[in-house]
Amino acid sequence: MIRFDSVLGELRPTNFGRIASFYYISCRTMELFCERFDRYISEANLLRLISESSEFQQIQVRMDEIHELDRLREYNEYDMTLDFANVTSKVICLIQANISGAQIRVSSLASDTQYIMQTVVRLARALFEIARDNNFALQVSRTLKLAQMLEQQMWDHIHPLLQFKELVPHLNTHRAMEALNMTIDELKELSERELENLFRARHVANRVKYYCNVFPLVDVDYVVKPITDGVIRIKLLILPTFIWSNQIHGGAQHYYAWVEDPTHDAIYHIESFVITKRMCQQGEPIELVFTVPLSKPLSLEYFVRVVNSQFLHSENTIVINLEDLKLFGSESFQTNILDLQPLSKTVLRNRSFEDLYPFTHFNAVQSQVFHSCYYTDTPIILGAPTGSGKTIVAELCMLRLFSNNPEQKVVYIAPMKALVRERLLDWTEKFTKIRKTVIEVTGDVTPRSELIRMSNIIITTPEKWDAMSRNWTEKDFVKQVGLMIIDEIHLLGEDRGPVLEVIVSRMNCINSKKNTNVRIVGLSTAMANPGDLAYWLNCNRRGLFNFSSSVRPVPLEIHLQGFEVKHYCPRMAAMNKSVYQAICQYAPDSSALIFVSSRKQTRITGYELMKFLLSENNPQKWMHCDNFELEDAKARLVDQDLAQLLSYGIGMHHAGLCDSDRNLVERLYVNQKIQVLIATATLAWGVNFPARLVIVKGTEYFDAATKRYVDMPITDVIQMCGRAGRPQFDTSGVACVMVQESKKNFYRKFLFEPFPVESNLLESLPDHVNAEIANGNITSKIQLVEFIESTFFFRRLLANPLYYQLESDGDSLKYINDLADSVVGTLQQHDCVVTPSESDEIKTIYEPTILGMLGCQYYLSYKTIHFLSEEMQPDNSMDELLTLICQVEEYRLFPVRHNEDNINK
């Protein structure tokens, strides 16, 4: 229940200790459970094990109780040998008699039964938690069902409606009990008249109808997507099908969902979720996504179970047939690092170019790709870990363009504004030396057209460049682009990936129509399927480099630490001490960077670290500047929490800080005035702050759409870890990734192995097709099919068809034709596209409507433009118009942060 660290002299709780504390269970009972509870124990022996708990040791067997216990034996469900001379048999008998609803005539037994039933539910729930931790798949189901039977005081073979005790007196007739041979779903399908005829009483029929409707059943739909030949992703869509009752359901209904392998008796993923009254009334499905391994040897099937924590028979079981799941391995390609002499920067053969760099030699990765980047015009795909110098590789391609085609432009596309900001500051200072103009084009900054035309380097985001390049035939600066650099191109599979995909497809279209060659450079981490990306970008083997994650200028060691605490906030609290210990162990005198999931966590973590420092002899050991400089910095700060933490060498960095506070913290940390910086995940992408130690404190974040904590993309975690190790100061970097214990195996696999890149285009395809139709780039079904076939989605559809719901032996051409019809049908329903002639399906002509052109011009979703068109009225007031604007699709995913709902009121 606890572990003792003899080196540090510390006691640390185990998960068994937490279970015992939470359920108020004695040490002797937990010892008994650990010794006797195994994956093969039967239901009867489970009950016997619980009855032997030390919690019942004060119960005695009295002589006047023996006769009554013999009578109560007939109510026992399990055929067990009972000797009422011992306490265990008495407890077993009373538990079963109580579940069966027996009337106990001896007062002492009634008193003992009341105490036993108060205790036994806690013991059953504890066994359920132990089964979860031990990964006993069969026992997870058994112990949860046992706990439900004890709580509901009803055996699992009794009709589910009898869990509502108010209904029991009305169903005690023989005819009513016969009617209950029907399931709840069958009863719900009957009309009021049929129910009345069935139960021969209107008031009984009405009550049965009511309780059938409030019984907490859910519908479960699922999608299985192969990721690799050893991993699948399961998406569950859970829809509540019951009517909410505050009296029955309370504030929320708790459910468990897990993926079970019956062949190996293992659970590969389990999590809990809640359904609230609001979620039930909205009628929107709850989405859960599991990434689970495929065991070897491959099982025939997996079970996915969704089970209510409280009610018996409120469960769904889905059988996933793995025999039908044909897995396709991607074309794997990995570049070996060659034993080359590092190239001197003099190989640039241009003194002004050489003066741009403070170093004398390129690193190993840069030396190996130098010839392809600087002496050829082939597209480049570079997969390499963070910190390996990919930005300088992109600059080599830029320098070639400036030498050979100085009139052409460079477009740098970054998926986040933070990356745009970093690149803007760096390149403005660097390329001004060779008289090149750098401009930023984002949602925050939109320069005049004249400045864009005069610029040499355009730094932008995917959405902004998509909007600018849609009507490219009328924009000369788009035609002048000679080099496009896409940073973090492996994010194609994330939320903003579809825009990247359309941009590249459009540039390929421009190349074919202009008969020119816009060079595309894609920068990424190591990928599992670089060949697919290279094929899509027309990149040959000379331009494809996919280095292992171990190829770094500074070697990186990663430590995975699991935490068995189930809920998010207590788990974050449990990590605080480990964060402090990791800093003391790996970076006692060096910089440490801690990534957390939210602004609130930056503050909480900072104060917790401050508490640990105050218990030390030198609480300001992380502060490396004199008091005058510290007080001067604190006086200029707006955020008072940050000012207090700075006194102990701890900084915070998140989007909620004002610019002056953020800039001051960055300067103090870079100049090593403070040792520890706590930041949100955005910093991993936006600011190049390498540190000796990186700590990822939790890998979940709160998702506003699903109202629950979900896992960060694995690419974000890899990016955070990549910030560990400073080339100028460290011989190695350390990354500590703190995760939930159940997810350690997943991160152990994909933190060290490349992750495949898939397309995420399908969900947003109608918006992009609408833009192409509005701009006249797509006018017929033939062109629409060609557009879809030019995307990365189509390439991956052929390589991994099941991921996109195409059967492995299905017709891809029919799939694309059906997809084209579906997309156009959706746009027609939203009044964005019309098809004047439908006589010949292949030669169908598409024409944009006013709504479609407005959506394209103002970069709005087709759903938004249709919603505004339908809801706006000529006499709308300003308040009503503002209300309509706030309901559009673009704001759907805006999170409501902690207490913001109260503040808004």
Residues 744 and 798 in one domain: no
Residue 90 covered by a domain: yes
Write down the pLDDT at residue 447. 82
Residue 174 resides in a domain: no
Beta pairing partners, 547: 335
The verdict on 355 and 306 lying in the same domain is: no
Residue 510: which residues within 8 A CB-CB, separation 6 or more?
Answer: 472, 478, 479, 516, 518
Average pLDDT over residues 138-162: 93
Task: Give me the pLDDT at residue 9, please.
Answer: 67
Mean pLDDT check: name the lowest of 349-358, 457-466, 468-477.
468-477
| pLDDT value for 315 | 94
Are 625 and 732 in a shared domain? Answer: yes
**Last-in-domain residue among 750, 783, 801:** 750
* Together in a domain, 667 and 733: yes
| Residues spanned by the domain of 811 | 762-891
Q: How confident is the model at residue 8 (pLDDT cuts 50, 70, 90)?
A: low
Question: Average model confidence (pLDDT) for the chain?
Answer: 88
Q: Is the pLDDT of residue 840 over 70?
A: no
Q: What value does the mean pLDDT take over residues 418-422?
A: 85
> In terms of DSSP H, where are the helices of 537-614?
568-586, 599-614
Same domain, 494 and 592: no
Domain boundary among 723, 750, 777: 750
Position 128 scores a pLDDT of: 95
Q: Output the pLDDT for position 136.
A: 92
Decide if pLDDT at 759 tops 80.
Answer: yes
Examine residue 230 and state whether it is found in any structural domain, yes or no.
yes
- Look at 193-197, 435-439, 683-687 and tell me which has the smallest mean pLDDT: 683-687
325-354 mean pLDDT:
84
Q: The domain spanning residue 646 has which CATH number? A: 3.40.50.300
Q: 411: alpha, beta or left, given left = phi > 0 and alpha = psi -120 to 50?
A: beta
CATH code assigned at 300: 2.60.40.150
- Predicted confidence at residue 190, as pLDDT, reads 87
Asked whether residue 495 is assigned to any structural domain, the reply reads yes
pLDDT of residue 455: 93
In this prediction, residue 901 carries a pLDDT of: 65
Q: Output the pLDDT for position 842.
A: 59
Between 747 and 652, the higher pLDDT residue: 652
The burial class, CB within 10 Å (0-12 / 13-18 / 19+), for 748 is middle
Render pLDDT for 214-247 as a digit per residue (tens, 0 to 9). Answer: 999 999 999 998 887 778 889 999 999 999 999 9
Q: Whole-angstrom Cα distance, residue 245 to residue 215?
A: 10
Given 514, 546, 578, the domain boundary residue is: 546
> Per the domain annotation, does 6 fall within a domain?
no
Residue 895 reports pLDDT greater than 70: no
What pLDDT score does 897 carry? 63
Q: Does some domain include residue 178?
A: no
Give yes or no: residues 459 and 349 share one domain.
yes
In this structure, is residue 332 part of a structural domain? no
**Residue 225 located in a structural domain:** yes
Same domain membership, residue 380 and residue 269: no
Q: In this structure, what CATH number is given to the domain that contains residue 30? A: 1.10.3380.10
Residue 764's pLDDT band (cuts 50, 70, 90): very high
Residue whose token pair is 């009405």: 206
Q: What is the pLDDT of residue 15?
A: 78
Integer angstrom CA distances of residue 255 from 220, 284, 308, 409, 463: 13, 17, 4, 55, 39
pLDDT, tens digit, 9 for 90 and up, residues 739-753: 988 788 778 877 777
Which amino acid, residue 322?
Answer: L
pLDDT at 778 exceeding the cut of 60? yes
Give the pair of three-digit tokens for residue 734: 């350390």
Residues 527 and 585 both lie in one domain: no
466 and 571 in a common domain:
no
pLDDT (mean) for 247-265: 92
Lowest mean pLDDT among 109-123, 427-441, 795-809: 795-809
> What's the total number of domains in the chain?
5
270's tokens: 């389990």
> Where residue 490 falls among pLDDT bands split at 50, 70, 90?
confident
Report the pLDDT value the prediction gives residue 841, as an integer from 0 to 100: 60
The CA-based angle 572-239-810, given to 5 degrees, is: 100
598-612, 663-677, 726-740: range with lowest mean pLDDT: 726-740
pLDDT for residue 701: 86
pLDDT of residue 626: 86
- For 481, residues 6+ apart whose C-beta sits below 8 A from its C-beta are 408, 409, 410, 411, 507, 518
Q: How confident is the model at residue 79 (pLDDT cuts 50, 70, 90)?
A: confident
Render pLDDT for 27-70 as a digit per residue (tens, 0 to 9): 999 999 999 999 999 999 999 999 999 999 888 888 888 898 88
Same domain, 360 and 506: yes
Q: What pLDDT is recorded for position 642?
A: 92
DSSP-assigned beta bridge partners for residue 695: 594, 736
Which CATH number goes with the domain that contains 795?
Answer: 1.10.10.10
**Res 178 pLDDT > 70:** no
Looking at residue 687, its pLDDT comes to 65
Q: Same structural domain for residues 524 and 635?
A: no
- Nearest CA to 354 among 383, 378, 374? 374
Same domain? 70 vs 117: yes
Integer Cα distance of 383 and 486 in angstroms? 12
Q: What is the pLDDT of residue 247?
A: 92
Predicted confidence at residue 332, as pLDDT, reads 67
Looking at the DSSP bridge assignments, the partners of residue 593 are 677, 694
- What's the token pair of residue 725? 């190790």
Rounded CA-CA distance 13/638 in Å is 40
8 A C-beta contact, residue 501 and residue 465: no
* Of 757, 371, 750, 228, the residue nearest 537 (C-alpha): 757
Q: Report, as an integer, the average pLDDT of 93-119.
A: 92
